[in-house]
Amino acid sequence: MEGTPRFSERLPAEALRPLMVRRDGPGLRRFGLQYGLFLASIAATLALTGPLRVAAVLAHSVLLASLFAPFHESTHRTAFRTPWLNDAVAWLAGAPLLFPPPFYRDYHFAHHRHTHDPERDPEIHLAPEKLARWASNPIGHLVTLTGLPLLAMTLFALAALALPHRAAWWARWAPYVAPARRLRVSLSSGGLLLGVAALTVGALGWPALWGLVAGQVVARALLTMFFSAEHVGLPFEGDALSRTRSTRTNALVRWLMWNMPWHAEHHGWPGVPWHALPALHALVEDQLPNLAPGYLRLHAAVLRGEAQGSASPGGGRGLAR
């Protein structure tokens, strides 16, 4: 994103330049297969019964959560070289997740400009001591990992954004949304809320639709595990790399999430497309101050009060790298 702090001094221009090339092919192949599997998981959830439906719901949940990756990359406009492909995929991937692209672009741009700034990062500024720190006890962390808090916040945000507001409201609660885009944000949020209402009402007459509702909850649990690994527990000071965590994981997760586990690399060089992040990681791995050994290991450390930034007296920087 233009205007985001760069780290050119950490990486020579001649090494960075080939990584910045945007292409359509990798995204089309990855998204085509991923979205096809996602649509198939919807059909399976609606058609199957018994234990097979449970398996279908779980598969659907994983694929729904994975749509955040192309959604995120498309809002950066680095998923594809062709602009309209970024716009189309942002909606195709964002709508099932109830994330309106017009709002998320401005929200996420502000997050990049003010990464983990307790006063200006929209991801945490409303309650930084709660949103930027690990829960103070294992039960609190387990509740967070259910995904229900994230789902509730998503629905609350959609409802708030869909309502008509005066300029003072926008200045107080969403100052990063430009006045010219406020109507588009409200209309898109309202449209997604109507989709939620339609799904809920439809489930009353067609119980199989409750499988898709369950998928929303399980997907939020997976996304909570993923999102919280990115910045939670890290310092408010320093550059974006100091405030961002990358996470080692297996090839399947990296495939589903479009290499987003290399999150510090993305924050340091946000113009590098997703398909070049592994090469970027290989170049800068030894410069990353926060590199977790895995999602399960990170959250297990949180439950033990041993993770970086834990409120427990035993919390430290043991899982920083």
What pLDDT was estimated at residue 1? 46
Whether the CB-CB separation of 90 and 100 falls below 8 Å is answered with no
pTM of the model: 0.93
Q: What are the structural domain ranges in the chain?
A: 8-303
What pLDDT was estimated at residue 13? 87
Q: pLDDT (tens digit, 9 = 90+) per residue, 169-224?
A: 999 999 999 999 999 999 999 999 999 999 999 999 999 999 999 999 999 999 99
What pLDDT was estimated at residue 316? 39
Longest CA span, the chain: 60
Work out whether strand 291-292 and strand 246-247 pair parallel, antiparallel, or are unpaired. Answer: parallel
Helices and strands: H and E segment counts in the chain: 16, 2
What pLDDT was estimated at residue 258? 99
Query: What are the backbone angles phi and psi of residue 287, rounded to the nearest 5°?
Result: -100, -5
Task: Give CA–CA dist 316/321, Å, rounded.
Answer: 12
Whether the CB-CB separation of 90 and 31 falls below 8 Å is answered with no
Task: Give CA–CA dist 277/224, Å, rounded.
Answer: 22
Per-residue pLDDT tens digits of the chain, which is 321 residues long: 444 444 556 788 899 999 999 999 999 999 999 999 999 999 999 999 999 999 999 999 999 999 999 999 999 999 999 999 999 999 999 999 999 999 999 999 999 999 999 999 999 999 999 999 999 899 999 999 999 999 999 999 999 999 999 999 999 999 999 999 999 999 999 999 999 999 999 999 999 999 999 999 999 999 999 999 999 999 999 999 999 999 999 999 999 999 999 999 999 999 999 999 999 999 999 999 999 999 999 999 999 999 866 544 333 344 544
**In the beta sheet, which residues pair with residue 292?**
247
Task: Give CA–CA dist 321/317, Å, rounded.
Answer: 8
Find how far residue 30's CA is from the centre of its chain. Answer: 18
**In the beta sheet, which residues pair with residue 246?**
291
DSSP label at 182?
H
What pLDDT was estimated at residue 310? 55
Instruction: Provide the 3-class DSSP secondary structure of residue 292.
Output: strand
Q: What is the CA radius of gyration of the chain?
A: 19
Query: What are the backbone angles phi and psi of residue 98, rounded to the nearest 5°?
Result: 65, 30
Task: Give CA–CA dist 227/222, Å, rounded.
Answer: 9
Whether the CB-CB separation of 104 and 192 falls below 8 Å is answered with no
Instruction: Provide the 3-class DSSP secondary structure of residue 158.
Output: helix
What pLDDT was estimated at residue 259? 99
| Buried-state track 85-102, b at ≥16 Cβ within 10 A, e below 16 | bbeebbbbbbbbbbbbbb
